[in-house]
């Protein structure tokens, strides 16, 4: 009765295989340790951002403030570290405290998004659009458009170091994904979330606390933004108001590719994981083939449309 | 009797509230800058520099009334601007021709959006994100982001009058056209109908495809026109000049009091929205606030206006619940 | 004048694998009021779509309009032929004014150029004058009451050159007085030569208004009658397809009072409601949609805060801030709209069953106790005899009756003391209805107190020893059903 993998995920795996074969034929170098370690280094950030995007999409919303939130939190984190650690010195407690600050800021942003969405009954798209502007505004105001850089060595390990040959951020990503799978599949919160996304009225009648559920969803999403922000900032060794601006579109692309229904209800962590692998193989492959980066941007747009078209066809 | 209720309605409307905010803000700014903000020079400067985005906002208004959202308009505007500039550099031309080119190019790209929105059953945000990236990516690939300048004399020699005519004149024309279409044409009423109840519109025989084609086509044409104004003001065609400023335009429309789920919104409200954003941005410069804080202020104003709108809707619903039902 | 305006001959319609219309023959005569009656899902809506030309019929079927054969085309085509449908949802534009809604067809009429507001208002006023009603033309439709919206929808149909008016369940949300207004309008339209097809499931109204009645069941036309040849009882038999052999089966209830409501008032929804409910009692509340019964029920369930009055449980006053408080006090509510409010259709039966107790189903790690969830689901599937139910499959795969049982099992799993059922057999076939009645009686026997809300007199008469009649937000009567006949009961209910 139970299948190892559902139809959508199988399609994603097949597409990934096709992708790898195609790029290997075009450029045999693709099948190298280098490209795979580059893929493994890039998957975590975009993957975590997409998981953060998936949560509000499951309840029929979207979060356009994820990148702005990540940038503001890394700027604050960077300022905190700079204020408490002398240049060239290391302090693990301060570093841990700054990571906590980073994740807390993003979670707080999620909290405010959730409160506005649920208390004023405004579409999440508009709330997070406004929030994105506010957050970017604060980041710009603080940094005056500049870039904060230079983290202690121990912090840079998160985004650049390896444990037993596996990139540190990849291990973090696997852990965070596993936690989210457990939350979605095995806790009452996860079940309520999916039920709510499918039919808000019926779950309300069943005694589910809509306010708490939506706020928790946005806060959880915020926490994942925070983890992604730590990894990203560590890898880049900097923080700025305009970092990773092009990630927003990619997270939506991967979420749609991974089978999240933009109208709410449907979507699985596993789908996102396979989709992010497919996406990163493609991105790395196109990079190795030296395809013009703007063509790649256009191609991503085409892929969103194709994913949507295929899904619309299937539902008919 | 009818007149009185209409008057009462106006005083309770969002537009009236917005008008009060605009007036209060004008007075506060005038006081804070010692009258600098209401000098004719500054007013003209403000109007010319915001007219480009104002025109684009008018196009956006149509999309939002029809129940959708479009964020690809800046990419569309960039294409129109480039085509228009290329034509001028290579063929010369005159104002009539470049208006036709920029409007035509914008409308053409808008029609693509329309077909996709009509055929695919996903939020229009996701569709227009996709088209925005496709247009932007291809555009950058084929132009390498090069700026175009050095236009013919008839375009580059600006006088005070021509400047006002191209910027404020075009904005006024766009507002009047939009008002006429929405109030006085069948297509305008169909746009409201589709935004209000798309199923009912279909049952009344409205062709939803034609409404989508019109709405997104109009938004594209408005984007193209806005691009022309921008090009005239800055005397160069560049992608960065427009791309990335989507929020400024959306802010104007959203502050103008559209319904967040479609079916409502007025040209007058949008005009007030345009003025409000212009006042805020201009006022901050005059008061001496660093431009880096601009996004924060406008974003905060947008969030607050959302909350007020949302709260009003909820309060009205609560009232209706108490009064309705058993009659 | 027996002249056919629309004729259907051997009409078949398939939707995917569903045979929605089976060899249907049907005539509509010029200038008559013809009622189409049948249970939900019997093919009434498909009939409307065929007659109004919205959908095409299968090969070999014939639809004849004015003596000419026609294919189902677009909605526009049908409108040009003078066929107008007033759908149950009214299909109005909430964001536009009354005047524009009424005159909306001007926007689609190619012979009219442009938009002339004076003309729109003039036309709307003329139509409303013809109907002899008054509405504020400047108001937005979203500001109107349901009854006024209904009138706007009719006015819109009249504003076009409609010759045939099809009304789909037009009375479902009207009070009796408003129904009277509607009927007098329908009669005056008929006098002016309009042909009217009236689709409903309410027997009394149909007998009152119809000249001819056509009964549908399972996609087939059972028969067509002259009004004088039938009465409510034999119509009911034909609709359900079986003799109703109900008997009042009452069980004695205890003396302990569980719930008391004292002077409960909520704006214009309901006023000064007082009643009590005993342990093991089945209390009926009968009233039309809009009589305030659903609003009252949701107040007891904590989803609609009353303005004044008291709710007492076991003699103690309670204040519910949300339905979670009510659930904690062991109150359960099966809402009237099963598909929208009752079930999450594309989720599993198991999730639908445990959703209300999911917070309590925890193992030592704080995760969901999957084994416990499964055994609870299995238990209710067995106890309620939910046929062909597997915990993993989606609720959408089940039939209407079984879906309702899933909703009931969701609430039974919360172990309620008071169970409120709002229209529990809406759209359920007769056999499934009986099993649900039996289930309700079983639960009452075990000591559960039940409030049953319905607008079907028979349902209340045969299941509830005591019934409250609600009208315009007030309880106007308390009836002891065991001392009167069904006919008397029906009259008492209608006679406000």
- What are the boundaries of each domain within chain C? 4-240, 257-494
Place of tokens 């409903």: C200
Asked if residues A39 and A284 have their Cβ atoms less than 8 Å apart, the reply is yes
**ipTM of the modeled complex:** 0.86
Closest CA to C322 of A203, A196, A190, B316: A203
Residues 242-271 (B) with a CB less than 8 A from some CB of C? 259, 263-264
Q: Is pLDDT above 70 for C16? A: no
| Three-state secondary structure call for residue B154 | helix
Chain B (10-69) residues lying within 8 Å, Cβ to Cβ, of chain A: 69
Tell me the pLDDT of chain C averaged across its residues: 83
Cβ atoms within 10 Å of A261's Cβ, excluding its own: 18
Whole-number CA gyration radius for chain C: 25
DSSP of C296-320, one letter per residue?
Answer: HHHHHTTSS--SEEEEEETTEEE--
* Residue C198 exposure: Cα atoms within 13 Å on the Cβ side: 30
Task: State the Cα–Cα distance between residues A139 and A141, nearest whole angstrom.
Answer: 5
User: Which regions in chain A score pLDDT beneath 50?
Assistant: 1-2
CB C185 within 8 A of CB C157: no
**pLDDT score at B325:** 42
CATH label of the domain that carries residue B176 = 1.10.3470
Q: Decide if B71 touches A, using CB distance below 8 A.
A: no
- In a domain, residue B325? The reply is no
pLDDT string in tens for chain B (327-residue length): 345 555 666 777 778 888 898 899 889 888 888 888 788 888 888 888 899 999 999 999 999 999 998 989 999 999 999 999 999 889 888 889 999 999 999 999 999 999 999 988 888 989 999 999 999 999 988 888 888 888 888 888 888 888 888 899 999 999 999 999 999 999 999 999 999 999 889 888 888 999 999 999 999 999 999 999 999 998 888 888 788 788 888 888 988 888 777 888 899 999 999 999 998 888 888 888 887 888 888 889 888 888 888 888 788 777 766 655 433
Please give the helix or strand (H or E) that residue B237 lies within, else none.
strand B236-237
Handedness of CA C452, C454, C460, C463 (dihedral sign): negative
CATH topology for C257-494 is Rossmann fold (3.40.50)
Cβ distance B200 to C472 less than 8 Å, yes or no, reads no
Q: Look up residue C341 and give its DSSP letter.
A: I
* The pLDDT of residue A76: 93
Least confident residue range of A48-57, C226-235, C360-369, C390-399: C226-235
C196-235 tens-digit pLDDT: 998 887 777 888 888 898 988 778 888 888 877 877 777 7
Using CB atoms, pick whichever of B131, B133, B260 lies closest to residue A126: B260
CB A51 within 8 A of CB A224: yes
Is residue B326 situated within a structural domain? no
Rounded Cα distance between C404 and C398, Å, is: 9
Selecting from A186, A195, A207 the residue whose C-beta is nearest the C-beta of C323 gives A207
**Element containing residue A162 per DSSP (H, E):** strand A162-163
| Cβ-based contacts of C138 with chain B (< 8 Å) | 2, 5-6, 9
Return d(Cα B260, Cα B276) in angstroms, integer: 19
Assess whether pLDDT exceeds 70 at residue C246. no
pLDDT per position as a tens digit, C27-86: 888 888 999 887 766 778 888 888 877 777 777 777 777 777 776 655 666 667 788 888
Contacts of A268 (CB under 8 A, 6+ apart): A9, A184, A258, A259
Q: Which domains does chain A have, with CATH numbers?
A: 7-315 (1.10.3470)
Residues in chain A closer than 8 A to C342 (CB atoms): 202, 205
How far apart CA C141 and CA C395 sit, in angstroms, is 36
3-state helix, strand, coil in chain A (%, to 5): 75, 5, 20
Sign of the dihedral through C-alpha A206, A208, A210, A213: negative
- What is the rounded CA–CA span in Å between residue C23 and residue C13? 9
Task: With CB atoms and an 8 Å threshold, state whether A308 touches B295.
Answer: no
Q: Residues of C with CB below 8 A from B326's CB? A: 268-270, 290-292, 295, 472-473
8 A C-beta contact, residue B108 and residue B90? no
CA distance C18 to chain B (A): 24
Based on the number of CB atoms within 10 Å of its own CB, is B179 exposed (0-12), middle (13-18) or buried (19 or more)? middle
Q: What's the pLDDT score for residue C77?
A: 67
Computed from CA positions of residues C490, C491, C494, C496, in that sequence, does the dihedral angle turn out positive or negative?
A: negative
Chain C positions touching B323 (Cβ under 8 A) are 267-268
- Contact status, residue C376 vs residue C413, Cβ threshold 8 Å: yes
Query: Which residues in chain C are contacts of A187 at CB distance < 8 A?
Result: 366-368
DSSP-assigned letters across all residues of C270-305:
EEEEEEEEETT-EEEEE--TTSSHHHHHHHHTTSS-
Contact B140 A297 (CB under 8 A): yes
Per-residue three-class SS string for C131-185: HCCCCCCCCEHHHCCHHHHHHHHHHHHHHCCCCEEEEECCCCCCCHHHHHHHHHH
Handedness of CA C389, C390, C394, C395 (dihedral sign): positive
Candidates C328, C348, C355: best to mutate against A (most CBs of A within 10 A) is C355
Tell me the C-alpha distance between A150 and A237, whole Å. Answer: 6
Rounded to whole angstroms, the Cα distance separating B126 from A304 reads 8
Q: How many residues does chain C have?
A: 496
User: Considering chain C, what percentage of its residues have pLDDT values greater than 90?
Assistant: 6
For chain B, give percent helix, strand, coil, nearest 5: 80, 0, 20
Enclosing H/E stretch for C22: strand C18-29
Is A207 within 8 Å of C356 when comparing Cβ atoms? yes
Tokens of residue A152, six digits: 């202690």
Number of domains in chain B: 1
* Residues C440/C452, Cβ–Cβ less than 8 Å: yes
For residue A5, the 8-state DSSP code is: S
Question: B195 at the C interface (CB within 8 A)?
Answer: yes
**For testing contact with chain A, the best of B303, B312, B313 (most A CBs within 10 A):** B303
Going by C-alpha positions, the residue among A105, A113, A56, A111 that lies closest to residue A79 is A105
Architecture of the domain whose range is C4-240: 3-Layer(aba) Sandwich (3.40)
DSSP per residue, C444-463: HHTT-EEEEEES-HHHHHHH
What pLDDT, on a 0 to 100 scale, did the predictor assign at position B210?
94
Strand partners, C273: C264
Q: Write out the residue range of the structural domain in which residue B91 sits.
A: 15-319
Helices (H), B66-94: 73-91
Q: Is any Cβ of chain A less than 8 angstroms from the Cβ of B254?
A: yes
pLDDT, tens digit (0-9, with 9 covering 90-100), for C311-339: 998 888 888 888 888 998 899 999 888 88
> What are the strands, taking DSSP E only, across C176-235?
195-200, 212-217, 220-226
Q: d(Cα C357, Cα B45) in Å, to the nearest integer? A: 64
Report d(CA C41, CA C53) in Å as an integer. Answer: 19
Chain B residues touching C55 at Cβ < 8 A: none
- Chains with ≥3 CB–CB distances under 8 Å to C: A, B
Give the β-pairing of A238-240 and B148-149. unpaired
Cα(C210)–Cα(C226) distance, integer angstroms:
9
Condensed to tens digits (0 to 9), the pLDDT of residues C414-435 reads 889 999 998 888 767 667 788 8
> Distance between CA C131 and CA C36 in Å, rounded?
24
CB A83 within 8 A of CB A281: no
pTM confidence score: 0.87
pLDDT at site A122: 85
Taking CB atoms and an 8 Å cutoff, what residues of chain C touch B4? none
Strands C195-200, C257-266: pairing is: unpaired
Q: Contacts for B272-275 with beta carbons within 8 Å, 24 or more apart? A: B272/B15, B272/B18, B272/B19, B272/B22, B273/B18, B273/B57, B274/B50, B274/B53, B274/B54, B274/B57, B274/B171, B275/B22
């Amino acid at each position: 009765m139970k299948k190892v993998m559902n139809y959508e995920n199988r399609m994603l795996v097949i597409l990934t295989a096709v992708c790898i074969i195609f790029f290997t034929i075009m450029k045999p170098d693709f099948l190298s340790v280098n490209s795979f370690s580059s893929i493994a280094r890039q998957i975590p950030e975009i993957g975590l951002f997409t998981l953060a995007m998936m949560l509000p999409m499951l309840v029929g919303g979207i979060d356009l403030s994820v990148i702005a939130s990540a940038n503001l939190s890394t700027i604050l984190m960077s300022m905190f570290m700079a204020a408490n650690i002398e240049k060239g010195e290391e302090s693990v407690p301060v570093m841990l405290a700054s990571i906590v600050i980073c994740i807390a800021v993003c979670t707080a942003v999620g909290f405010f998004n959730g409160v506005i969405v649920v208390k004023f009954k405004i579409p999440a798209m508009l709330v997070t659009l406004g929030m994105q502007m506010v957050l970017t505004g604060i980041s710009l105001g603080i940094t005056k458009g500049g870039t904060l850089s230079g983290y202690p060595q121990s912090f840079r390990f998160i985004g650049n170091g390896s444990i037993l040959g596996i990139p540190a951020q990849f291990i973090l990503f696997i852990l965070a994904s596993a936690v989210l799978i457990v939350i979605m599949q095995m806790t009452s919160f996860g079940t309520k979330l999916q039920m709510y996304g499918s039919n808000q009225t019926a779950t309300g009648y069943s005694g589910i606390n809509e306010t708490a559920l939506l706020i928790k969803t946005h806060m959880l999403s915020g926490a994942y933004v925070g983890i992604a922000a730590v990894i990203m900032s560590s890898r880049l060794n900097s923080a700025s108001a305009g970092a990773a601006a092009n990630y927003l579109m990619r997270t939506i692309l991967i979420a749609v590719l991974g089978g999240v229904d933009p109208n709410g209800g449907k979507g699985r962590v596993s789908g996102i994981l396979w989709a992010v692998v497919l996406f990163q193989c493609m991105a790395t492959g196109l990079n190795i083939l030296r395809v013009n980066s703007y063509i790649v941007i256009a191609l991503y747009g085409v892929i969103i449309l194709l994913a949507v078209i295929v899904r619309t066809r299937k539902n008919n | 009797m009818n007149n009185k209720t209409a008057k009462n309605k106006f005083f309770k409307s969002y537009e009236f509230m917005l008008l009060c905010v605009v007036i209060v803000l004008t007075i506060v700014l005038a006081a804070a800058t010692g009258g600098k903000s209401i000098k004719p020079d500054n007013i003209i400067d403000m109007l010319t520099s915001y007219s480009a985005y104002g025109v684009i906002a008018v196009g956006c208004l149509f999309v939002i009334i029809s129940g959708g959202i479009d964020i690809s308009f800046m990419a569309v505007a960039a294409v129109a601007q480039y085509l228009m500039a290329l034509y001028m550099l290579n063929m010369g031309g005159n104002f009539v021709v470049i208006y036709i080119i920029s409007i035509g190019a914008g409308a053409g790209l808008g029609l693509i959006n329309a077909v996709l929105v009509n055929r695919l059953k996903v939020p229009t945000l996701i569709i227009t994100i996709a088209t925005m990236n496709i247009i932007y990516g291809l555009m950058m690939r084929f132009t390498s982001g090069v700026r175009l300048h050095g236009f013919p004399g008839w375009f580059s020699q600006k006088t005070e009058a021509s400047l006002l005519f191209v910027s404020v004149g075009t904005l006024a024309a766009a507002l009047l056209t939009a008002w006429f279409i929405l109030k006085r044409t069948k297509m305008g009423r169909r746009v409201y109908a589709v935004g209000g109840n798309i199923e009912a519109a279909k049952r009344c025989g409205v062709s939803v495809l034609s409404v989508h084609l019109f709405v997104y086509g109009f938004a594209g044409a408005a984007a193209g026109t806005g691009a022309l104004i921008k090009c005239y003001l800055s005397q160069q065609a560049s992608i960065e000049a427009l791309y990335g400023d989507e929020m400024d335009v959306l802010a104007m429309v959203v502050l103008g009091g559209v319904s967040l789920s479609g079916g409502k919104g007025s040209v007058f409200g949008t005009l007030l929205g345009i003025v409000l954003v212009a006042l805020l941005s201009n006022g901050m410069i005059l008061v001496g606030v660093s431009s880096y804080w601009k996004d924060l202020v406008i974003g905060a104003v947008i969030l607050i206006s959302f909350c007020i709108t949302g709260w009003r809707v909820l309060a009205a619903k609560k009232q209706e619940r108490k009064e309705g039902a058993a009659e | 004048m027996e002249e056919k305006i629309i004729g259907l001959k051997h009409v078949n319609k398939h939707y995917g694998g569903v045979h929605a219309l089976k060899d249907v023959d049907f005539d509509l005569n010029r200038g008559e009021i013809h009622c189409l009656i049948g249970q939900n899902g019997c093919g009434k809506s498909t009939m409307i779509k065929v007659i109004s030309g919205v959908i095409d019929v299968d090969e070999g079927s014939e639809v004849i309009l004015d003596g000419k054969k026609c294919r189902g085309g677009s909605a526009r085509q049908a409108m040009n032929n003078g066929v107008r449908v007033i759908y149950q949802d009214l299909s109005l534009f909430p964001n536009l004014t009354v005047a524009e809604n009424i005159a909306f067809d001007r926007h689609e009429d190619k012979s009219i150029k442009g938009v002339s507001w004076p003309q729109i208002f003039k036309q709307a006023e003329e139509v409303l004058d013809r109907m002899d009603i008054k509405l504020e033309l400047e108001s937005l439709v979203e500001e109107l009451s349901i009854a006024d919206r209904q009138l706007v929808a009719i006015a819109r149909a009249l504003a076009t050159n409609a010759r045939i008016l099809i009304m789909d369940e037009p009375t479902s949300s009207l009070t009796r007085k408003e129904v009277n207004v509607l009927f007098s309008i329908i009669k005056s339209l008929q006098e002016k030569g309009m042909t009217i097809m009236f689709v409903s499931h309410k027997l009394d109204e149909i007998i009152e208004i119809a000249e001819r009645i056509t009964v549908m069941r399972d996609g087939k036309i059972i028969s067509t009658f002259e009004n004088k040849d039938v009465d409510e009882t034999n119509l009911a038999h034909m609709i359900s397809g079986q003799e109703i052999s109900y008997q009042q089966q009452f069980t004695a209830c205890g003396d302990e009072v569980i719930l008391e409501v004292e002077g409960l008032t909520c704006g214009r929804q309901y006023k000064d409601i007082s009643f009590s409910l005993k342990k093991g009692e089945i209390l009926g509340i009968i009233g039309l949609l809009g009589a305030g019964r659903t609003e009252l029920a949701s107040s007891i369930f904590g989803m609609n805060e009353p303005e004044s009055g008291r709710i007492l449980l076991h003699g103690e006053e309670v204040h519910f801030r949300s339905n979670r408080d009510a659930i904690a006090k062991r109150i359960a509510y099966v809402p009237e709209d099963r598909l929208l409010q009752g079930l999450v259709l594309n989720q599993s039966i198991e999730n639908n069953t445990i959703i209300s107790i999911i917070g309590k189903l925890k193992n030592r790690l704080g995760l969901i106790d999957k084994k416990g969830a499964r055994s609870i689901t299995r238990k209710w599937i067995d106890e309620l005899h939910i046929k062909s139910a597997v915990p993993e499959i989606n609720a959408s795969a089940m039939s209407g009756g079984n879906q309702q049982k899933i909703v009931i099992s969701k609430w039974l799993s919360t172990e309620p003391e008071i169970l409120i059922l709002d229209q529990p057999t809406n759209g359920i076939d007769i056999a499934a209805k009986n099993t649900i009645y039996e289930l309700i009686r079983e639960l009452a026997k075990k000591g559960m107190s039940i409030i049953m809300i319905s607008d079907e007199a028979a349902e209340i008469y045969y299941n509830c020893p005591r019934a409250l009649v609600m009208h315009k937000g007030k309880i106007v009567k308390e009836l002891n059903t065991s001392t009167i006949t069904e006919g008397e009961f029906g009259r008492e209910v209608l006679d406000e």
